[in-house]
A and B are shown apart, each in its own frame.
Chain A
């Protein structure tokens, strides 16, 4: 079991309030991603759940039990750190075995579990190496191995992939998702990368300045963003926003159109613009279009389009997919 409940959790460091008031309900077996810009409090929130930071006020419950004041060691959670945080003086085997030794398991059982974890994570041939003799991806696997052997109630991941190169990151993303499907254990995953959030999560918590902006499934967040912040944060490339008279036409303070929701023409349309930069990715082409009076827009088109700097294009937003926001930035 591994349901996690936060009730009015507040965290301040001295005068600075990092998390004003957060309540969340994470179901057993869920893969929840905390996402938000740097400094939004997502890592702090994870550390509060881990017990590495004390809450200023509020309650944290694990399976209904109040663990707010429990030491990290007593919570039965496992954490994978951004820096991997492997024990440099121990072999890979001893690193993975460490939590089991702390739990005073018999040696035979420790060996069995370490071997199983090593096989699951393809670490078999590295067991006697020290962490410094491993690559970044292998180190991350050891860190995950160390987390899974103790069969925790939940896994906490603190930006675990941000030190890896892009290709490896995609691989590890898949591996972690597969691991979740295999173990069916609750996982909380912190990242600033919204692509990671969208691809991995059952539900996403979007955080901004210590507040939960929205908590929902990736597609909910994409299709029904609660406010302008979420709309701008979820989706890649970012949503385009228009204020002023153009927004008023739609009875809104501002409107948003995703780059993939434009109809593009070279002859006619709603907004006229000039191509500044065309980024060709092969599968897609991203056009950065300077519109007349509305600012710079990003438009996603298929990869066969060959626009170049200076081309004049006409953009027409898909009327059913225009997002409207009021003066406070809330979705209408």
Chain B
């Protein structure tokens, strides 16, 4: 029997849901509003909610001081590149873990995940020195590489979870039908896992896009992505809240739009396996 929910309960939950959503959204909303205020208004002791003197000058100032498009292109290359590279490595890895597991497969998966539990700063010195010696500092391919490596455990885990849902019979049927391993993966496994691969791709693009620690540490002017772009507005000449907000808005806008249009896919991806 379906549970009966009273009108009061429904209204209560709706209000609560809106309150939580607004609370989570408020920093983004505040950034959005501040980006269109003058610097004076942004730091006024009596804060205003809506911009009193609506202005776009923060955006032009930001673009004048630092090349937004160069950083945006770096962000795209690093986030998409590292995700694709990660998928190329992770698909065969997840295939073998899901369909040809050994006694140690679970341990390997846990070990991979455990690397994500370590604070990044713990390996800062060795990675920095390796990057310096390999001349990868402040290069887009160097940054793509480190982004691939730090997100690889998540990519493998997500794909592993998706692949586990695919009946092994179907892959065996492909083998019986004369498919070699390569054809089995490209003609059968990957097309069947497209929804899962798409969610993994999206999530990792977002993670790589938002990554700040390694980006700021390993790049300066040339290979900086949008996170480095934002941070460049936060320090030396004092805090310019309105410009910082404009820069932040420019940096998060593309990924916010991507997330908005693909939210169905993302939610499915993040809850996959939780409910059948």
- CB of A50 within 8 A of CB of B178, answer no
Known: A52-B172, A79-B173, A98-B174. A85 touches B179 (CB 8 A): no
Within 8 A of B (CB), among A68-99: 71-73, 77-79, 81-83, 85-89, 98-99
A327 within 8 A of B: no
B191 within 8 A of A: yes
- Bound state CA distance, A102 and B194, in angstroms? 21
- Bound state CA distance, A87 and B183, in angstroms? 13
A103 within 8 A of B: yes
B29 within 8 A of A: no
B169 contacts across to A, CB distance below 8 A:
81-83, 85
- B173 contacts which of A77, A85, A89, A103 (Cβ < 8 Å)? A85
- B177 contacts which of A71, A89, A102, A156 (Cβ < 8 Å)? A102
Question: 0/1 per residue, A21-56, Cβ < 8 Å to B?
Answer: 000000000000000000000000000001110000
Within 8 A of A (CB), among B173-214: 173-180, 183, 187-188, 191-192, 194
A146 within 8 A of B: yes
Known: A98-B177, A99-B177. A87 touches B172 (CB 8 A): no
- CB of B177 within 8 A of CB of A146, answer yes
Instruction: Determine how close the nearest CB of chain A comes to the CB of B244; give it in whole angstroms.
Output: 47
- CB of B191 within 8 A of CB of A89, answer yes
B47 within 8 A of A: no
A156 contacts across to B, CB distance below 8 A:
176
A79, closest chain B residue (CB): B176
A50 contacts across to B, CB distance below 8 A:
176
For chain B, the bracket of interface size reads 10 to 19
- CB of A85 within 8 A of CB of B183, answer no
- CB of B176 within 8 A of CB of A72, answer yes
Within 8 A of A (CB), among B9-23: none
- B178 contacts which of A73, A83, A87, A88 (Cβ < 8 Å)? A73
Instruction: Determine how close the nearest CB of chain B comes to the CB of A114; give it in whole angstroms.
Output: 13
A150 within 8 A of B: yes
Question: 0/1 per residue, A11-29, Cβ < 8 Å to B?
Answer: 0000000000000000000
Q: Is the interface of A mostly helix, strand, loop or mixed?
A: loop
B61 within 8 A of A: no
B179 contacts across to A, CB distance below 8 A:
73, 98, 102
A78 contacts across to B, CB distance below 8 A:
176-177
- Bound state CA distance, A77 and B192, in angstroms? 24
- CB of B172 within 8 A of CB of A85, answer yes
- CB of A87 within 8 A of CB of B170, answer yes
Instruction: Determine how close the nearest CB of chain A comes to the CB of B267; give it in whole angstroms.
Output: 22
B177, closest chain A residue (CB): A99
- Bound state CA distance, A51 and B174, in angstroms? 13
Question: 0/1 per residue, B149-177, Cβ < 8 Å to A?
Answer: 00000000000000000010110111111
Instruction: Determine how close the nearest CB of chain B comes to the CB of A327; give it in whole angstroms.
Output: 43
Known: A85-B173, A98-B174. A73 touches B180 (CB 8 A): yes
- CB of B175 within 8 A of CB of A83, answer no
Instruction: Determine how close the nearest CB of chain B comes to the CB of A94; give it in whole angstroms.
Output: 10
A149, closest chain B residue (CB): B177
Known: A85-B169, A87-B170, A102-B183. A52 touches B178 (CB 8 A): no
B175, closest chain A residue (CB): A72
Known: A73-B179, A81-B169, A102-B179. A88 touches B174 (CB 8 A): no
- Bound state CA distance, A249 and B123, in angstroms? 86
Instruction: Determine how close the nearest CB of chain A comes to the CB of B186; give it in whole angstroms.
Output: 12
- CB of A150 within 8 A of CB of B177, answer yes
23 A-B Cβ contacts within 8 A?
Answer: A50-B176, A51-B175, A52-B175, A52-B176, A71-B175, A73-B175, A73-B176, A73-B180, A77-B176, A79-B172, A79-B176, A83-B167, A83-B169, A85-B172, A86-B170, A86-B173, A89-B191, A89-B194, A98-B179, A99-B178, A102-B178, A102-B180, A146-B173
Ordered nearest first, which 4 A-B pairs have the shortest CB separation? A85-B173, A99-B177, A102-B178, A85-B169
Known: A87-B188, A99-B178, A146-B173. 10 other contacts (CB 8 A): A50-B176, A51-B175, A72-B172, A73-B179, A83-B169, A85-B170, A86-B170, A88-B192, A89-B192, A102-B178
